[in-house]
Amino acid sequence: MELDPYVREHFGMPFLVIHRADLRQILFEEATARGVVVQFDTMVEMHSADFKNGIVYAKSSDDADKNAVDEGGSAKRTAFAADLVVAADGQQSETRAFLSGRPNKPTPTGKMANRILMDIDRMRELGLEDLIDPPNMHIWMGPGSLAVGYLLKEVFNFVLVCSSENEPSVFLGPRPVEEEELLAVFKDWDPRIRSLVENGHGYLKWLLLDNSHNEVCSWVHAAEGDELIMALAGDAAHAIGPYIGSGAALGFESATVLAQLLEQSRSKSEMLQRLEVYESIRRPRTDLVGGVTQKMGVEWMLHDGPQQVKRDEMFVQENPPLQGYPNALQDPFFQTWLYSFDGRQAADEGWRIYYEDHQP
């Protein structure tokens, strides 16, 4: 899949791939430069939030605070007064579970993602230059499994998706994976895959989980008479699968829409109206991208048969790709819709429509 200069020429911006640690550092430096105070190792206790008076409590896990107790013998908490709390606490959001009254139930999808890294110099030694020059996204499809590779800083990031049926239990977060486990699945694939598996480093695996049961939960919580409003953002609101690599991008889209709407809010009542617009703008889009992602996961891992043959024929015959192409990121209709989104423009238009519809 070609990235640049194609993306730059069609959408006016380059296709950037960045490590999350670097991205977080950039965001942290910009936020603190603008006066934002960032507190690390701090847990917000949603179950003790005072919604009536607009107060949330947080405990620090810093060593200096671990032994601090109040008069009742409980660990000390810091109180924060707030009109709005935006919770971006991830796919297994404790905030979402608290607001919905339903505990998180991570449901395995039956698939597992495995990550391998390989240094660029090592790839050249092994004759794998074609995977890094020019920098493109490489996708291998097979029965029940999938592999994706791309450059990330000075390493090649290689992700292999396969069945998780041999995992004895559900687990959250990354765990080490043995080279032999991956070779057992991918040994008969492209020889370059075997070379990457045998010579890489940083072997980790994640269970791919389904959070679709959380779709019924509203992203905004505000009860009549309460001073505190809660809103969900990022994976806490709209976690999706990994197959088109858009999860983090959707989070940034939502942050842009939310910031644009809140920046122009003139009162607390208007802020609540703008949060309603935020969810009305974002939910349909994130649901659609999540649906396409799920479809790609199925289509890219088809077992041998008529559907697989039809898919492969489309890959070979459609040049350039047409609407309905098996890779949604190359589908000209979906690609334009996905990459042309302007969060600020969407926020302004969404508020204009809402305001006009609610005029007496």
Assign 215 a pLDDT band (cuts: 50, 70, 90): low
Residue 225's SS3 state is coil
The better pLDDT of the pair 48, 84 is held by: 84
Average pLDDT over residues 32-49: 91
Average pLDDT over residues 20-25: 92
3-state helix, strand, coil in the chain (%, to 5): 40, 20, 35
Q: Residue 170: left (phi > 0), alpha (psi -120 to 50), or beta?
A: beta
For the record, the structure tokens of 43 come out as 């847990």
The better pLDDT of the pair 105, 22 is held by: 22
For the record, the structure tokens of 247 come out as 């999860």
Interatomic CA distance for residues 297 and 118, integer angstroms = 25
Angle of helix 179-186 relative to helix 191-199, nearest 10 degrees, comes to: 180
Give me the pLDDT at residue 29, please.
97
Give percent above pLDDT 90 in the chain. Answer: 72
Interatomic CA distance for residues 184 and 203, integer angstroms = 15
Residue 229 φ/ψ, nearest 5 degrees: -110, 140
Interatomic CA distance for residues 237 and 217, integer angstroms = 9
Look up the pTM and report it.
Answer: 0.90
**321, 251 Cβ separation under 8 angstroms:** no
Give me the pLDDT at residue 186, please.
95
